[in-house]
Each structure stands twice: as structure tokens, then as C-alpha cells.
Structure 1
Amino acid sequence: MSQEECPAPATGPSVRMARMTPLLSGIWLFFLLEPIGEGWRHRDELSGVLGILCTVLFGAVYMALWLRSRADRQRLMTQPARRAAVLYVGSLVVLGALMTVLLGGYGLASTPYIGVACVMVFPFRVAATAVLALIVVDVVLFAVNDWGSSTGLVFGVVAASVAVLGLRMVMSRNIELLSAQQENASLAVENERTRFARDLHDILGHSLTVITVKAELAQRLFDVDPERARTEIADLERLSRDALADVRRAVEGYRELTLPGELTRARNALAAAEIEAHLPNSTDEVPTELRELFAWTVREGVTNVIRHSGARTCEVRLTPTSAEVRDDGTGSDTVHPGGSGLAGLRERAAGAGATVVVRHLSPGFSLEVVRA
């Protein structure tokens, strides 16, 4: 891969914040210090040691879930696969239950984390049901075992779950926005490819057909009429050069005008303006030195038809010495012969030894560039 192809490393505040995300989420594991402390006070007993171990594993699984969710968001996924979600939450429930059995009421410190995990990975209805069940379990266990008031713990479960629900909604909106932007970008690229393919076909399709026919004709004329065969070959060379020049200009992004390209754009523009177009199917008879000038003629004439004419039809006529754009409208009478567009066209025509002829028809308007 070349240096130009290698993506530049991402830098900036957003990257630093992304790197700090695990640390920021890990801060909330602070509330697991109470069950760990309770296990440490009973470290001489098996229940205390196992309680500490279960609490540490609980924190590790919880952090793994956060990291998985972060990776899913980077892949524009709003939630993990159902199997993974059930695995993570199931592991937390089992470990939380073991903590409660081994450490008593201190083990219920796991319930806010389980509630948060449910909100992170499950649909809203499932998550709400799970959080409600956790609250009921906390209240019942505190009452049955006489562990005191469960108000603080219930508040913690609700507050943490609601906070993460709001965070998830914001992230989901952002993911939907990014997905829509990516879809729009893909559609724009696809539309550009389609447009370029269509224009390239219009530019090359007829020219290549004529080149093929003339090549076959020249081959048959070699033995019958060598002089005419040479004429066909010379014409074949001119057509090939013109087609190559048109393709190069198209690939360069239409920075320069091509006569086939202008006819294609004229057809699309007139159709969009609901004006019936009568355009030539071939530009082969136009000499190489006049093709760009005639392209400008088509652009200027069709632009005036669309903007000013109020016409129902527009016709473009091409000959080896002239290019004409005429319409059957009435609005073109407002086009001043000294307008900037026509002035620029006159300068280009003069440089090619041609003249611009403007005529008012009945009805309609004609713009023609002629080289004597």
C-alpha cells in the first residue's frame, strides 16, 4: 500500500475521549468496594474469599460488556446480538446471586449494574421489565432478611438505569444519523457512477460504431478503390482522435467542454424543463477544430432557451460548418444581442474564424455559429 493510500492516524480530543471511555465507565465500579470490603472482613472464611472472587469477576464481566458495547457503536450497531446479550446479562445475574448468597445484603450492590446492563443490551420493554424485577427482588430480600431499608438501593437501580437509557437513546440517534449520512454518501457515489457511465456511453457509443463501420469499409476498399480507402482511413483517424479527446475531457471532470457531452447535458436539461428536444444523434461530421466552439454554442443556446424562451420545442442542428439552436418560444425576444453570454461566444467564434448569427423567427429564436 502506498503512502497516499494509508489512512492518517486519527488524533484530537475525540480520540482521547474514546481512549478514556473504559476508564470513565470503570469509575462506577467504585460501588463494588463495599461487597469486596465485606468479603475482606471475612477473609478467613470460604464465603469471604469466594465473595471477593465473585465480585471481581462481576466487575470484569461488566467492563467487558461496556467494551463490547463501545465496539458495537463503532460498527454502528445499536445493540449486540441476542445470544451475546443474554450471555453477558446471564453471567452478571449468576455472579450477583452468588455475591448475595456469600456476602448477604452487600451482594445486592450488584443489582444497579445488572439493571444498567439490561438497558444497554435489551429492547426497552425487556429492559424495563428486568429493572422492575430487580427492584422487586431488592425490596423482598431486604424485607425478608431484615437488612434495613432498601430505598437507597432501589433509587440507585432506577437512577442508573434511567441515566443509561438516556445515554443509549442519544447514541442510537447518533448511529442513525451516521448511518443515514453513509447511505447518502453511497447513493451520491452510485449516482455519480451512473451519470458518468451514461455520459461516457453517449460520448463514445456512436463514435465507436462509426469507427468500426469505417474500418470495415476501408478494409473492403483496399483492393477496389485504394484512394477512397485512404480517405476513409484518414477520416477514421480523425474520429478516433476526437473520441479520445472527448473521453479525456470527461475523465478530467468536465473541466473542458465536449460536443457529445454538451448534447447529453442539453437533452437532460431540456427534459427537466419539459421542453421537447430534437438533437442530432451524431457529431462525426463536425471538424475537430470546431467541436469545442460548437459545444459552447449548444450550451449558450440551450441555456437561453430554458431561461428565457418559454418554448415547447428546441432543436439543435449541426453541419460541418455551422451549429444552430432554435426554439418556438416567445420569451427569447428578451435576450439582448449584447448579453455577456453571446459576447463571450462571439469572441470564441472570432478566434475560430466564425461568426455568430442571431435571428428572430416567427415564432421562435435562432442562435447560429457559422464558419464560411
Structure 2
Amino acid sequence: MDEHDTDTRDPAPPGREADTRNAAPRGRDAERRLKAVGPPWPVMPPEMGTGAFIGMRSVLWSRGSVSWYIGGGISLLWLISTGQEVIEQASTTGSAALSVALVVLYGVGFLLAVPVGWGLPIRWRLLPATGLFALSFTLFPWLGWDVWSQWTYVGVVVGMMVLSWRTTILIIVGLAALGLFFRVGIDGWTEDILWGPAIIFSISLMMAAFARTFAAMNQLRATQNQLSQLAAERERGRMARDIHDILGHSLTVITVKAELANKLIEVDPTRAKTEVAEIEQLARGALADVRTTVAGARGVNLPAELVVARAALEAAGITPEIPTATDAVGPAHRELAAWIVREGVTNVVRHSGATRCAVRLGPRTVEIADDGVGPVASSASSTGLAGLHERVAEAGGTLTIGRSDLGGFSLKVDL
């Protein structure tokens, strides 16, 4: 059994033992996924264990279980001596055949007990070990109280269940002590009396530690997978936010200029031609912005955004009050200020119905104010404002929307 056999790509979510809300996925899709990548193997630590049954068919034929069959099968070589012993104790051929069949059944039970236990809720995982313990007594007619020598397999099953350390140690110590009691009853106290119980204790405890090592590794893998998913979600959110901001602004300006060009095409063809040329430039710029955003290299420039904002407002018939210099804004805040100007002016052009718009820049403040209809109910839920709020929050600032001193809408950011 090697580390790769324990890979858990679909780990059980954290939760308490009896929390059925964290049940393993069911249905045909879940069955196929479990069959393909295996259930959590070895099972997660107790605090991450599933509280529900996993489909046994998927468990028994998972990658982890097949690996267990190989490793556990090697340990069954010790049962050869048990088979020889029961044959020697059999009085008839039929008795010998039955005893060998029971030894084989015990070996199969050992191999199946571990995967079956992995598929059970934590509170039921001792059932396979209990069943294997009971199955060992079927050899009593041939071995007598020497059946205790088979309990190493029971201890290994208990250790592989990854129960709490207290429960695991208590059961393993109990098995070793019970084996010692039976051996003393058979042979009396001798200098070699502790060897058998010591084997039960040491091998079972070693397998418990082995299982926990890989369970901890799987827990780390589960955490890494979660972090990777969060990082991917964050990156998707960033790209969606940037593309919205870029296309929302550019398409708004393109729409306004197209409307203006349509009105001028009869009365002033020369200016209409100029507006169409600017529309083409804006479209090409938007396409380039989208490409750089997807490549992760998107940046904005405050002076350029002020120039574009002035052109967009004038094209929409809104009188712009925009500073010509950006010195009032600290270098560390200019990129964020550019995003604020872009989103704020886009909202003014789209929704305000204003005739006047002021862009105000300060050392730690940026405000977009207009004399339009003022705040509306949809402002707080705007996709663009939500994305801008995320940007501001990441920079440690606060965003406020409300009524401006001009009588309309105000978007103000304190940095």
C-alpha cells in the first residue's frame, strides 16, 4: 500500500459524527464518482468522518479498497499455519474440510471488514470488527481457547477504522489482555507468556498509527482542495467583475455615441462621421481590455479615465465638472480611483437623467455626484456597484451611496 493509493479527490466534508447534513452524496452520479476515485481512504479523522452510509458496492471496489485487499492479503499468509493446525486437530476428512473452509471464511471476513467499516457511519464502524471477533470462535472446536491467537486481525481492523485514540487503545489493550488471560488459562504463567498478547497489541497499534498518518494526509489534501476551489472562485469573481466594469462602461459610451451619431447623420454628417470613428476606437479598446483582463494583466489609468468620462458625459448631454489634474489623489490610490470614476460615471450616464455631473478627487476621497433622480432601490444591488464595493473593501476603504449636494445621486469612497 503506498501513498498514491490513498488519494482522496472527493473527501467527506467536516462535521460531527451523527450530522446527517454532511452525508455522502447519493445517486448514480455519486456512485460512479465514488467508484472512479474511491471513497475517503483511509477514512478521515473522526472529526471529519461522514455521518451516513456510503454505497457498499462503490466502497468495496474503490481504489483504496483494492489496495487494502493487496496489503491485507499478504498478511493472511499467517493463516496458513492456522489451517495446518486445524487440519491436525480434525478427526475426520469432513471435519478437516469444514475447518479449512472456516479459516478461509475468516480470512475473507478480515479483508472485507475494513472496506465495509469505511462505508459505515463512525458510530457503526466497530460492527465489522465485532463480527470478525465472533467469527474467530467458529474455530473453537479445533483450536479451543487458542482462538485468541487470531485476534491480531481483529485489532488491525479496529486500528484501520480511525476511531478516537481513546476508543482504539482501549479496545486493543482489551484484546491483548483477554488473549493473555486465555493463554495463562491454557499454559499457565511462563517466560514466553507475553509474546502473543504483545503481538496483538503492537501490530494493531502500528496499523492504527499507519491509518491515522494517511488520514491526516487526506485531511491536508481535502484542505488543499478547498483552498484551490476558493482561489478559483475568487479568480472567477475577479474576472467577472473586471469584464463587467470594462464592458459596462465601454458599451454605455458606445451606445450614447451611437445615438448621438444617429441624430447627427442628417444635420451634421461630418460630426456624425467623427462619432462613428470614435465608436470604432472604443469598441477596439474594449476588445483589447477584455483580452488583457482574461490574461490577468488589466490595469486602469486615472488621467485616461477622466478624459473618457468627460467625453461620455458630453456625448450624453451632461455637463461635466471634472478636474484636469490627478495630483490630489495619492499614487497608491490612483488605480482604485480610476475604477471609481469609471463605474460612477457609467451609472450617471445610464441611470441618472442628470444634466450635470461632478467628479471630485481628494487625498483620501473620491466622489461622483450628479443632479439627477437620486438614489433608487436597485442601486444597492447593482452588479457594478457590488464589484466596486469589493474593490474598495479589499483596499481597506468604505463606499457610501446616497443623495448628493447637487440634488441627485452621490457615490463616495473614503480611502
Q: TM-score, normalised by structure 2?
A: 0.52
| Correspondent of 2:174 among 121, 127, 133 | 133
Correspondences of 1:212-231 after superposition (within 5 Å): 212-222=255-265, 225-231=268-274
Shift of 1:102: 4.4
How far does the alpha carbon of each residue in 1:52-85 deviate from its partner, in whole angstroms, 9 at most, with x for none? Answer: 222212212222345678xx7xxxxxx8533773
Q: Give the whole-Å Cα distance in 1 for the aligned partners of 2:307 and 2:153.
A: 73
Contact preservation (8 Å) 2:116, 2:128: no
2:263 and 2:135 mapped to 1: Cα distance? 89
Name the structure 2 match of 1:262: 300
Measure the CA separation in 2 of the matches of 1:197 and 1:313: 18
Q: What amino acid does structure 2 have at the position aligned with 1:35?
A: T
The aligned residue for residue 75 of structure 1 is none
Among the aligned pairs, what percent are the same residue?
A: 29
Q: Which segments of 5 or more consecutive residues in structure 2 lack a partner in the other structure?
A: 1-64, 312-326, 343-360, 364-415
After TM superposition, list the pairs within 5 Å mapping 1:84-233 onto structure 2: 85-121=125-161, 122-144=163-185, 146-148=186-188, 150-222=193-265, 225-233=268-276
Structure 1 residue 98: deviation in Å?
A: 1.4
- Distance in 1, Cα, partners of 2:220 & 2:306: 45
- Asked whether the equivalents of residues 118 and 127 of structure 1 are also in contact (C-alpha less than 8 Å), the reply is yes
State which of 46, 57, 82 in structure 1 corresponds to 2:105: 57
Q: Quote the offset at 1:305 in angstroms.
A: 4.0
> Which residue does 1:283 correspond to in 2?
308
The residue aligned with 2:285 is 242
Matched position secondary structure for 1:283? helix
Which TM-score applies when normalising by structure 1? Answer: 0.57
CA distance in structure 2 between the partners assigned to 1:201 and 1:98 by the alignment: 72
Measured in 2, the distance between the counterparts of 1:118 and 1:109 equals 16
Q: 1:26 aligns with which of 52, 66, 73?
A: 73
Is this contact kept in 1: 2:300–2:335, CA < 8 A?
no
- Alignment CA distance shift 1:222-1:156 (3 Å): same
Runs of 4+ in 1 over 6 A off after TM superposition: 18-21, 311-318
| CA shift in 2, pair 1:247/1:95, >3 Å | same
SS state of the match for residue 98, structure 1?
A: helix
Q: What does the per-residue CA deviation read over 1:230-250, in whole Å, with 9 as the maximum and x for residues that have no partner?
A: 333222222111111211222
Q: Which runs of 5+ in 1 are unaligned?
A: 1-17, 73-78, 267-277, 287-300, 319-325, 329-372
**Measured at CA, do residues 192 and 85 of structure 1 come closer, stay the same or move farther in structure 2, by a change above 3 Å?**
same
- Alpha-carbon separation, structure 2, partners of 1:314 and 1:138: 73
Residues 279 and 221 (structure 1), Cα distance of their counterparts in 2 relative to 1, 3 Å cut: closer
Given the alignment, which residue of 74, 88, 109 partners 1:41?
A: 88
Contact in 1 for aligned 2:146/2:183 (Cα 8 Å): no
Aligned AA (1:199): D
Cα 1:56–1:83 shift into 2, 3 Å: farther
2-side partners of 1:241 and 1:312: how far apart? Answer: 24
Query: What is the deviation of 1:163?
Result: 0.9
The number of aligned residues is: 261
How many Å apart are 1:47 and its aligned residue?
Answer: 4.6
SS at match of 2:308: coil
CA, structure 1 residues 32+240, in 2 after alignment: closer, same or farther (shift >3 Å)?
same
Given that 2:76 and 2:107 are in contact with CA atoms closer than 8 Å, whether structure 1 keeps it comes out as yes
- CA gap of 1:282–1:51, structure 2 versus 1, over 3 A, is farther
Shift of 1:95: 1.3
Deviations 1:276-296 (A, max 9, x none): xx994663679xxxxxxxxxx
Higher relative contact order (CA 8 A, sep 6+): 2
Cα distance, 1:94 vs structure 2: 2.4
Q: How far apart are residue 151 of structure 1 and its match?
A: 2.4
Cα deviation digits, residues 121-163 of structure 1 (max 9, x gap): 133232223223323432343355x255552221111111221
